[in-house]
Amino acid sequence: MTFAQVLTPPSVGWIAIAPEIVLGVGAALILLFDVQFKPKKSQLAFATALVLVTAFVFTIVQYDRVQTFNSATTDQVTDLVAQAFPFNLMIVLDSNAVFGRFAMLLVTGLGLAAGWRLFERLGARAAEGLALVLLSAAGFTFMASSTHLMMIFLGLEVGSISLYVLAGITREQPRSEEAAIKYFLLGSVASAVFIYGVALTYAGSGSMNLLEIQGIVSRTVFTRPAVLLIGIALMVVGMGFKVSAAPFHSWAPDVYQGAPGGIVGYMASAAKIGGFAALIRILFTAFPDFASTWGPLVAGIAALSMLLGSTVALVQDDVRRMLAYSGVAHAGFILTGVVAGGAGTSEVWFYLGVYTVQLVGAFGVVAAVAGAASSGASIDSFRGLSKRVPFLAATFSVLLLGMSGLPLTSGFVAKFGVFTEAWQAGYEWLVIVAVLASVIAFFFYLRVIVAMYMEEPVDEAVAMPGLSVRTSLALAALITIVIGVLPGPLLSLAGEASPL
């Protein structure tokens, strides 16, 4: 018996990981290209764009494939299962995964375009930076498509480690370094906690595959080993950390403030997408039977996040810090949809999609105003922005109002969706907390608008940003409004995004 005979080849479905392949290969090529040819920044930009577009195209192909799966008749199903769950059930090609990729690629594109000036200033390290962005994107999309805890963990690490580096990539800035080390230390602790959770879940259930776990758990629903519960708890904590939900949020403000302005939007958005994608996979796919157990827990975290995020954001003087705290609150809002269980998937996805676009746009504006390579962005630098660069002020207002959940923006539809789901699931109190928190949230969003429109300009000159930045910001604002007015298409798309 030769070695090869021992191995049964796995079911391979390249299309299921095609975007990630493109991203990974693209990143590698960019690195090589950089070493070999010392390309100009515009060439790097082109290459990156090409990678993203290609990945996007593959994602569209995937979407088409998923539509075929979804409309398959029963007798076709068996044939399609292998295609839908390639690599021996390691990942899945379902709407959830595709939606996650769409969101992730969109956010990556917008984030890079909006923060492009950072890469122009990075000098020789721009290629590494870009490669890291692409790689981390691949990691987070893996989180969205994995059905295996180890894959989720790997995706998490691929994404997170890249982000640690990106946080510190402007190493000449002391604050950037500080952000990197904080993010790194706390992040690796959180990763350890998560993987410990995986280990205990494995110990408790006997598998790391979410689908198998679900099967095992549902068969023995009366036995609930403590190790399994601790495992769930630790995985929730680990993901809570990634999405910066209170009380695991403390890294976020420091990192978002300290990290380079041009990349922080991507960092914040990508981590949220990956974290939530994995969280809902774990909770909805593996542990729907435990919903009554983790539901209140998630609800508690959600409530704490919303209240803490909103109130502390209220007293911030740095816009990026404020956005970080508001991100804590938003994690809470999204968790409000998570408590509803599988029924809330589409609303959670919708929220994630529109919020991350707003977030990436908002940080893009901050980068344009306060510098793409610098740390921090005092609210004072936004004073009178409407008179200096009306375009930035207007887009920022739209994005901030979108985040605040004002009607006719996508944020409102998103909030409405998760609130409805939570109410439907019986978490009325959580909805009340959520609406009150969103009132508090209005205050700090408006404060920035006050500074931009109602206060006198400061002397600092802000240049009209370049075309790529403008396009990216305009697109983010446009999406916010269009989706706010016509949420139907995206809602339907998200509505399909329930995990297989």
Enumerate residues 360-389 that contact another protein by CB under 8 A. Answer: 371-375, 386
Restricting to residues 336-355, which ones interact with another protein according to CB under 8 A?
A: none
Restricting to residues 419-458, which ones interact with another protein according to CB under 8 A?
A: 419-420, 423-424, 428, 431-432, 435-436, 438-440, 442-443, 446-447, 449-450, 453-455
- When asked if residue 37 is in the footprint of another protein (CB under 8 A), the reply is no
356's tokens: 């991350």
Cβ 439 to another protein shortest distance, Å: 5
Restricting to residues 70-99, which ones interact with another protein according to CB under 8 A?
A: 87-88, 90-91
Which of 14, 220, 380, 467: binder of another protein (CB under 8 A)?
A: 220
Query: Cα–Cα distance between 266 and 261 in angstroms, integer?
Result: 10
Which of 59, 62, 205, 480: binder of another protein (CB under 8 A)?
A: 205
Query: Cα–Cα distance between 49 and 43 in angstroms, integer?
Result: 10
User: How many residues lie near another protein (CB under 8 A)?
Assistant: 159
Mind giving me the DSSP string for 115-168? THHHHHHSGGGHHHHHHHHHHHHHHHHHHHHB-BHHHHHHHHHHHHHHHHHHHT
Cβ 75 to another protein shortest distance, Å: 27
Closer CB to another protein, 20 or 352, in the complex: 20
Which of 97, 143, 190, 477: binder of another protein (CB under 8 A)?
A: 190
Restricting to residues 226-245, which ones interact with another protein according to CB under 8 A?
A: 226-230, 232-234, 236-237, 240-241
Phi, then psi, of 91 in degrees rounded to 5: -130, 170
Query: Cα–Cα distance between 13 and 16 in angstroms, integer?
Result: 6
Please, are residues 251 and 244 in contact by the beta-carbon 8 Å criterion?
yes
Restricting to residues 297-316, which ones interact with another protein according to CB under 8 A?
A: 297, 300-301, 308, 311-316
Cα distances (angstroms) measured from residue 322 to each of 262, 317, 362: 17, 7, 11
- When asked if residue 479 is in the footprint of another protein (CB under 8 A), the reply is no
Sort residue 285 into left (φ over 0), alpha (ψ -120 to 50) or beta.
alpha
Which of 275, 332, 384, 487: binder of another protein (CB under 8 A)?
A: 487
Query: Cα–Cα distance between 355 and 410 in angstroms, integer?
Result: 8
- When asked if residue 184 is in the footprint of another protein (CB under 8 A), the reply is yes
Mind giving me the DSSP string for 391-428? HHHHHHHHHHHHHHT-TTSHHHHHHHHHHHHHHHTT-H
- When asked if residue 216 is in the footprint of another protein (CB under 8 A), the reply is yes
Which of 26, 111, 115, 155: binder of another protein (CB under 8 A)?
A: 155
Which of 22, 107, 114, 131: binder of another protein (CB under 8 A)?
A: 131
* Three-state secondary-structure class, residue 246: coil
Cβ 276 to another protein shortest distance, Å: 17
**Which listed range, 45-53, 97-105, 157-165, 270-278, lies at the site for another protein (CB under 8 A)?**
157-165
Cα distances (angstroms) measured from residue 63 to each of 67, 202, 274, 498: 6, 32, 19, 13
Cβ 306 to another protein shortest distance, Å: 12
**Residue 172: Cβ-neighbour burial (10 angstroms; 0-12, 13-18, 19+):** exposed
Closer CB to another protein, 327 or 487, in the complex: 487
**Residue 73: Cβ-neighbour burial (10 angstroms; 0-12, 13-18, 19+):** exposed
Closer CB to another protein, 9 or 71, in the complex: 9
- When asked if residue 263 is in the footprint of another protein (CB under 8 A), the reply is no
Restricting to residues 270-299, which ones interact with another protein according to CB under 8 A?
A: 290, 293-294, 296-297
**Which listed range, 57-65, 108-116, 266-274, 400-408, lies at the site for another protein (CB under 8 A)?**
400-408
Number of other residues whose CB lies within 10 A of the CB of residue 465:
23
- When asked if residue 19 is in the footprint of another protein (CB under 8 A), the reply is no
**Which listed range, 102-110, 404-412, 465-473, 474-482, lies at the site for another protein (CB under 8 A)?**
404-412
